[in-house]
Amino acid sequence: MLECDICIVGGGPGGLTAAATLAMRGRRVIVINSGPLMGYGIEGAFKSKSEFEITRQYLQARLRPEIFGQPTPLAWANVRAGIERSARGLNDSLESRLQRLGVELIQGHATFENQSTLRVDDHRVHAQHIIIATGTVPRPLPGIEFDGHQVVSSDEVMALEALPKSLVVLGGGIIGCEFAGMFAVLGSAVTLVDTQERILASEDQDISDFLSQAMARNGVEVMPSCRLDTLSVENDVVRTHLSTGATVESEVILLAIGRTPCTLNLGLADIGVGLDERGYISTNNTMQTNVPNIYAVGDVGMRNTPVDMALVHVAQAEGRCAAHHILGEALEQSMDHVPYIIFTLPMIAGAGLSEIVATERYGKIRVGKYPFSRNHRAHAMGTPFGFVKLIVAPEGDDRILGVRAIGQDSDSLVSAASILIERQLPFTYLLNAILPHPSLMESLQGAAQIVSGDALAFEENEVPHRP
């Protein structure tokens, strides 16, 4: 029997952050992990973002032929090699850090024997506290199995041996839109099928519309408001039969219809840990389950918060929260200000409430929308396409409720915006702030000036189209 203070089941971002926090405070920590360290955090999220960086650099060069000429198409083997090289370097640094922290790593699948004991193959681990951080896996459709070659998940698509000549992406959410854009730029003929009337329906209409136009220019065919009826694979051809009666043929289909929690075969029901109808673990604001010494962090948990996004930095924050609670320390966290990035082409970033949600909550809100076509830095980058939107509470309340941006490097805006929202600073704080020039941050200041009536309001024709 191995004894420790805390056992963490799952080596993803939430679990490893909790392990590091606790080990730095002198606690004996064991991590049980059945796959690569960081799990989907590296194998899925990081690798797809590595592909994004390669793709956007290639796209930027392609869109400026007067400077770069006509770049040759990228070789998929080289793209994959570059992604794997980056991932190996990150994995090596993680393993080295765990060793330096004195965290013991056990490879294998854990099963609960009781509320304090886990079995892993021939090992038994007893801990005062246990943190579950097992993450999620791609959700399949009934009767359709992933084969890793023609019918693939978002975890498998990066491992394709060759760039598909044609690709159907099923699902117009974040993951589907990210991969559809990247593969289209790399040379695949991409069809994006979505059940909703518009892609990225979780975002405001103007963000969704702008992305749709950009996708069309990059060669993505979007088929909204239709569902998959049946799927057949014959002689290296995937036939996707849709509810509209249309049939789309492709070499590969990517199912990007959501993810499901990794809670099966852990034995949670046997020890009384509460699960919802989808298998997610219910937690409170300190990440505790209904069993006080057992916590859940990251995508596997479902807590009662206004915003619940499956993001690496949210999992890390929850890992810190659970660790501090185990240490007897309070760590207050709010999810209303969490910044996020969507790695579409162009990039989308945001923090706080969307315009839709802010209107539902507060009524007659104020919105300042500032186009990148007015921003010097965007012109210097050669990409003055996009806008930033500042969402402010109704008259008499100057709090910033949310920020949304779409365009190259729009992520540079949202970290500062998140802090403004978290600290409940008024939008007027931005009006006379001295910001670096030229920078995209000046667009956030411009949006504040529009709200205050000190700058010309946004007009739709101010957003130029790419050539």
Name the CATH topology of 2-137+260-326: FAD/NAD(P)-binding domain (3.50.50)
Contact 422, 337 (CB under 8 A): yes
CB atoms closer than 10 angstroms to residue 282: 16
DSSP-based three-state secondary structure for 462: helix
Question: Which are the contacts of 164, defined by CB distance < 8 A and separation ≥ 6?
Answer: 183, 188, 250, 251, 252
- What pLDDT is recorded for position 467? 45
Element (H, E) at 124: strand 123-132
The CATH number assigned to the domain with range 151-257 reads 3.50.50.60
> To which residue do tokens 């991409």 refer?
190
Domain boundaries, the chain: 2-137+260-326, 151-257, 346-462
Distance of CA 257 to the CA centre of its chain: 14
CA distance 345 to 152: 22
Q: What does the pLDDT read at residue 465?
A: 58
Two domains, one topology: 2-137+260-326 and 151-257? yes
**Tokens coding 89:** 């370097």
The answer for residues whose C-beta is within 8 angstroms of residue 78's C-beta and 6 or more apart is none
| H-run or E-run covering 78 | helix 76-101
CB of 306 closer than 8 Å to CB of 336: yes
Distance CA 254, CA 169 (A): 5
End-to-end CA distance of the chain: 66
pLDDT per residue, tens digit, the chain (467 aa), is 899 999 999 988 899 999 999 999 999 999 999 877 766 667 777 888 999 999 999 998 998 889 989 889 999 999 999 988 888 777 778 888 888 999 999 999 999 999 999 999 888 999 999 999 999 989 989 889 899 999 999 989 988 999 999 999 999 999 999 999 999 999 999 999 999 999 999 999 999 999 999 999 999 999 999 999 999 999 889 999 999 999 999 999 999 999 999 998 999 999 999 999 889 999 998 999 999 999 999 999 876 554 456 788 899 999 999 999 999 998 877 777 889 999 999 999 999 999 999 999 999 999 999 999 999 999 999 989 999 999 999 999 999 999 999 999 999 999 999 999 999 999 999 999 999 999 999 999 999 999 999 999 998 878 765 54
pLDDT at 104 (0 to 100):
94
Indicate the SS3 state at residue 202. coil
Q: Is the distance from CB of 113 to CB of 37 less than 8 angstroms?
A: no
**Token pair recorded at residue 80:** 């994959």
Residue 94 half-sphere exposure toward CB, CA atoms < 13 A: 21
Pull the structure tokens for residue 377.
């830095």
Task: Identify residue 383 by its one-letter amino acid code.
Answer: T
CATH of 346-462 among 3.20.20.80, 2.40.50.140, 3.30.360.10, 3.30.390.30: 3.30.390.30
